Amino acid sequence: MKDSFLIGIDIGTQSTRAALLDLDGRVIASSSSGLELSTPQPGWAEQDPQIWWETTISNIHQILAQADVPAQSLVAVGACGQMHGTVPIGCEGELLSRSVQLWCDKRSADLVNDFKAHPEAPSAYRIAGSPAAPSWFGFKIKWLKSFEPELYAKTWKFLVPKDYVNYCLTGVAATDYSEASGAFLMDAQHEIWSEKLVDLLDIDMNKLPDIYPSSGVIGKVTKEAAQQTGLREGMPVVAGGGDMLCTLLAAGITEVGRACDITGTASHLSVFADRPVLDDRLMNLHHAMPGWIPFGITDSGGGALKWFKDSFCQEETRKAEETRSHVYSLLDAEAAKVEPGCNGLLFFPYLLGERTLGTPFARGVFFGLTPGHGKGAVVRAIMEGVCFELRRPLEIIEAAGTHVEEVRTTGGGARSDLWSQLKADIYQKRVVTFENFEGGMLGAAILAGVGAGVYPDERSGADRTVRLAREFLPDTTLADRYDYLFDLFKELHDVMQAPFNKLPTLP
């Protein structure tokens, strides 16, 4: 199968992407289309699923035009995507809403708080493998049933973003274990929809799609989808997985104790485990292969840096355009001039609230600002603040008995050598980057390859395609300083919880 290729699709928050990859994981052609995020109210985040499909069609046309490969050489399609989005489709497959809740939408926070007070909440947590949180798909459906009952009633199936694109490709409504585990509706032990959880959330079971392994073939590209996209009719399409899990697969997080820092719009710290780590400060998702991923996340990690760049760095943006350089490289250069710890400036990256380690009503905070802090210090504080936030789940997972020697890092933040070094210094772990930064699409392509039989299993596909790049070693002379600041970070975090919870009642 020397001249065989896989298609990987990624439905992200800031863009949709598609790539043509060979069986060694090399990108032959790729295309990206930007997306807008709508935030009509504080804590709300929405997008139009129709735009996901339209831009995916465009991206596929672009890569096929770039590569000009025979249709018969295209083996299979795999998709990944931003998780937990809530797409309602009708009984004819029609899209019922053009403004759907995304992973970072917190409008169900009050419903979650009410649920946590329910006497069955502790047992529900043990069944689901994660504590209740507004990000979970099930609570978003519950919000729709409570506040948009007509839409809920019309819905045949609720799908997540990549499942909606898969439906457009195949006409099959399906999901995978990684996304089902992020619903608070799946029994983590038996890996099926849980009747008890579905009943507790008062959701109709028949509105949920069937669950497949991430590499399982759910259907084939239909004649209509082939005409729209240019793909070969009858190409196998696998269930795919959540973008986080596909990125972890592409990063080779396939063995117990391997860890990965993904710094994208959201930022995650994840470790491979045989089963969920039942600590209510952590969340757990089923991997895109057999196994589980305990993790911590901040919904505005890299997104916080983008917010600062967009809002306050117009001068640097103009300079980057004039010099044909990258604005983040200019900001890195300024941040590198600032001493570690930013002279006591701490940033708390909660622009979109918190999930499990704090309240969903949290907001971003700078602590310790002085007139001596310029843009470089603010940029470095944002980077360090994201690292402090992600060090917390790493600390919890290691305390539970899983030792981590090395943290692999990917996502947009991994393009910054400065940020990678900060991670090594703050985690006090070896940090390694990758040659290939198309993690989600590569992971989706690996799943497609497993489904089509070109890889024996997910681990083999990852071993064949993963290529490590630079290694960053921790500066041990900074350990005491960063330990001190980390303890201060946790102390301030806890102090701010009660004031954060007063924000929703602002007159």
- Per DSSP, the residues of 412-450 read GGGG-HHHHHHHHHHHTSEEEEES---HHHHHHHHHHHH
The closest of 383, 451, 359, 374 to 166, measured between CA atoms, is 451
Distances in Å between the alpha carbon of 456 and those of 222, 441, 450?
27, 19, 6
CB 28 within 8 A of CB 62: no
For the CA atoms of the chain, what is the radius of gyration? 22
Question: At 343, which amino acid appears?
Answer: N
Burial code of 2-23, b = ≥16 C-beta within 10 A, e = fewer? eebbbbbbbbbbbebbbbbbbb
How do residues 210-219 score in pLDDT, each as one tens digit? 999 999 999 9
244 versus 497: the higher-pLDDT residue is 497
Domain boundaries, the chain: 301-406+474-505
Mean pLDDT of the chain: 95
Separation of CA 62 from chain center:
25
* 3-state secondary structure at position 345: coil
Question: At 287, which amino acid appears?
Answer: H
55 versus 42: the higher-pLDDT residue is 55
Q: What are the structure tokens assigned to 31, written together?
A: 């295309």
The closest of 496, 200, 184, 246 to 354, measured between CA atoms, is 496
436 confidence band (pLDDT: 50, 70, 90):
low
318 confidence band (pLDDT: 50, 70, 90):
very high
* Mean of pLDDT values over 354-361: 88
Which helix H or strand E contains 74, and what residues bound it?
A: strand 74-81
Q: What are the structure tokens assigned to 397, written together?
A: 């997972």
- The yes-or-no verdict on residue 184 having pLDDT over 90 is yes
- The yes-or-no verdict on residue 32 having pLDDT over 70 is yes
Q: Specify the CATH class of 301-406+474-505 in words.
A: alpha beta
Q: What is residue 272's predicted lDDT score, i.e. its pLDDT?
A: 93
